[in-house]
Amino acid sequence: MSDELSLSPEPEPDDLLVEASLRPKTLAEFVGQPRVREQLELVLEGARRRGTPPDHVLLSGPPGLGKTSLSMIIAAELGAQIRLTSGPALERPGDLAAMLSNLSPGDVLFIDEIHRIARPAEEMLYLAMEDFRVDIVVGKGPGATSIPLDIAPFTLVGATTRAGALTGPLRDRFGFTAHMEFYEPEDLEKVLRRAAKILGIDLRPDGAAEIAARSRGTPRIANRLLRRVRDYAEVRADGAVTRSVARAALAVYDVDELGLDRLDRAVLSALVRSFNGGPVGISTLAVAVGEEPSTVEEVCEPYLVRAGMLARTPRGRVATAAAWAHLGATPPPGSPAGGPAALF
Ligand SMILES: Nc1ncnc2c1ncn2[C@@H]1O[C@H](COP(=O)(O)OP(=O)(O)OP(=O)(O)O)[C@@H](O)[C@H]1O
Ligand SMILES: [Mg+2]
């Protein structure tokens, strides 16, 4: 796995090196997500006119779609400072109390992976979000007292890849929830053009279209593929990223026309060839390809489902007719249709 090009939407070490420079800085620079952008514009403009911090914002959606970028944009658009932390970092309520009591009026507090916040910190957050107050507990046992402390009015921006894992009381305290969707290919082309300009890559329109189609609806993956294709273009061609260069480069990295990698294809192939299209349980399928069930479930499956190749049924995973066709096999009668039509 290690020497391959990863198609996981989670950041790889070399993504992190360039992401800071590739992050859009303003709402206008933020490509795609038209609904989220319009809603957010209204929320921010309303707050600006009233001269108060906007409602707390929850950003939910799969990895690599721009939640962290958007949180920084919210702060920038408000002309506010942003403080960054994450759910796992807030294990003890004292950690959160320290952050909250250091806020200046109007600051944006960004909590990444907010669904992983520990319960006592979460409870402290309720009061902070609602009344801009924290109760600091001093001492232990029966002698413990709590001291109420006012904190500066702030805006909490929470990001989560698993909105369903948030507790009701926490979810209810956000005034605005933005659901990030996978990007359309045309939007990914814009993301790629912008990144190419920043990185000084000679990206041609047909090359951009080819990379966008294989990027799994995810800007982070689009930018990663662009960098790998650029290597190929510089080493094996004249540096220009055209369609044929992109195709040749991505063939080297085993990324097919639909953006499926070797593991995705192994999963589909096992489903079709070893289990005659299913239904089969996820753990059986994982054993068949020699992977952890969680890898198959969290890395491969979401995109295979979205690409219309695999369906989840109560009895297990089923290959769609499109999956059989993608592997060059004839689907048995009764296979669900699926296919790229189900893509967007
Ligand atoms: N709308 C966009 N326009 C341009 N580039 C984008 C956009 N969204 C994301 N990107 C690019 O993708 C990279 C990853 O985005 P970001 O880190 O904001 O995703 P995320 O949703 O926070 O991911 P994670 O869930 O892994 O934290 C950014 O550095 C940026 O290069
Ligand atoms: Mg992020």
Q: How far is the CA of 158 from the centre of ligand 2 (A)?
A: 10
The rounded distance, in Å, linking the Cα atoms of 184 and 206 is 16
Q: How far is the CA of 69 from the centre of ligand 1 (A)?
A: 6
Is the distance from CB of 319 to CB of 310 less than 8 angstroms?
A: yes
Higher-confidence residue: 21 or 248?
Answer: 248
| Burial profile 4-23: b = 16 or more Cβ within 10 angstroms, e = fewer | ebbbbbebeeebeebbeebe
Residue 161 is a catalytic residue: yes
**In the chain, what is the greatest distance between 2 CA atoms, to the nearest angstrom?**
75
117-131, 216-230, 300-314: lowest mean pLDDT where?
300-314
Residue 197 is a catalytic residue: no
The rounded distance, in Å, linking the Cα atoms of 309 and 321 is 8
The mean pLDDT value of the chain amounts to 92
Predicted confidence at residue 91, as pLDDT, reads: 86
Q: Which ligand is nearest to the CA of 222?
A: 1
Q: Quote the percentage of the chain above a pLDDT of 90.
A: 76
Choose the residue to mutate in 65, 85, 179, 189 for probing ligand 1, maximizing ligand atoms within 8 Å of C-beta: 65
170 is in an annotated binding site: no
- The protein residue whose alpha carbon is closest to atom 23 in ligand 1 is 64
Predicted confidence at residue 294, as pLDDT, reads: 86
265 is in an annotated binding site: no
Question: Which residues, 6+ apart, have CB-to-CB distance to 7 below 8 Å?
Answer: 216, 221, 255, 259, 261, 264, 303
Closest CA to 23 of 65, 80, 82, 60: 65
Q: Which CATH architecture has domain 262-327?
A: Orthogonal Bundle (1.10)
The rounded distance, in Å, linking the Cα atoms of 272 and 335 is 11
Q: Which band of pLDDT confidence, cut at 50, 70 and 90, is reported for residue 340? A: low
Residue 68 is a catalytic residue: yes
CATH match for 185-253 among 3.40.50.720, 3.40.50.1970, 1.10.8.60, 1.25.40.10: 1.10.8.60
Q: Which band of pLDDT confidence, cut at 50, 70 and 90, is reported for residue 2? A: very low
Predicted confidence at residue 10, as pLDDT, reads: 87
Which residues are found with C-beta within 5 Å of the ion, ligand 2?
A: 67-68
Asked whether the predicted pLDDT for residue 1 surpasses 60, the reply is no
The rounded distance, in Å, linking the Cα atoms of 195 and 205 is 13
Asked whether the predicted pLDDT for residue 165 surpasses 80, the reply is yes
Please state, in angstroms and as integers, the Cα–Cα distance from residue 106 to each residue in 11, 75, 143, 229, following that order: 30, 9, 36, 43
What's 13-179's CATH class?
A: alpha beta
- 276: exposed, middle or buried (Cβ count in 10 Å: 0-12, 13-18, 19+): exposed
| Cα three-residue angle 129-132-133, rounded to 5 degrees | 110
Choose the residue to mutate in 6, 68, 111 for probing ligand 1, maximizing ligand atoms within 8 Å of C-beta: 68
Predicted confidence at residue 243, as pLDDT, reads: 98
Pick the most confident of 62-66, 137-141, 333-337. Answer: 62-66
275 is in an annotated binding site: no
Ligand 1 binding pocket, CB closer than 6 Å: 10-11, 19, 22-24, 30-32, 63-69, 161, 191, 194, 219-220, 223
184: left (phi over 0), alpha (psi -120 to 50) or beta: beta
If one counts every other C-beta atom within 10 angstroms of the C-beta of residue 108, the result is: 25
Q: Quote the percentage of the chain above a pLDDT of 70.
A: 97
Higher-confidence residue: 135 or 151?
Answer: 151
The amino acid at residue 114 is I
Asked whether the predicted pLDDT for residue 323 surpasses 60, the reply is yes
Question: Structure pTM?
Answer: 0.88
Predicted confidence at residue 343, as pLDDT, reads: 44
Q: Which band of pLDDT confidence, cut at 50, 70 and 90, is reported for residue 6? A: confident
312 is in an annotated binding site: yes
Asked if the domains at 185-253 and 262-327 fall in one CATH topology, the answer is: no
Pick the most confident of 86-95, 105-114, 250-259. Answer: 105-114
Q: How far is the CA of 218 from the centre of ligand 1 (A)?
A: 8
Asked if the bond preceding 279 is cis, omega within 30° of 0, the reply is: yes
Segment 218-239 shows an average pLDDT of: 96
Segment 207-213 shows an average pLDDT of: 97
Query: Quick one: which atom of ligand 1 is closest to the CA of 29?
Result: 3
Secondary structure element (H or E) that encloses residue 158, with its range: strand 155-160
Q: Which band of pLDDT confidence, cut at 50, 70 and 90, is reported for residue 55? A: very high
Residue 160 is a catalytic residue: no
Question: Which residues, 6+ apart, have CB-to-CB distance to 238 below 8 Å?
Answer: none
Secondary structure element (H or E) that encloses residue 108, with its range: strand 108-112
Pick the most confident of 80-94, 130-144, 329-343. Answer: 80-94
Q: Which band of pLDDT confidence, cut at 50, 70 and 90, is reported for residue 344? A: very low
Residue 112 is a catalytic residue: yes
- The catalytic residue among 160, 214, 216, 220 is 220
11-25, 119-133, 224-238, 304-318: lowest mean pLDDT where?
11-25
Domain ranges of the chain: 13-179, 185-253, 262-327
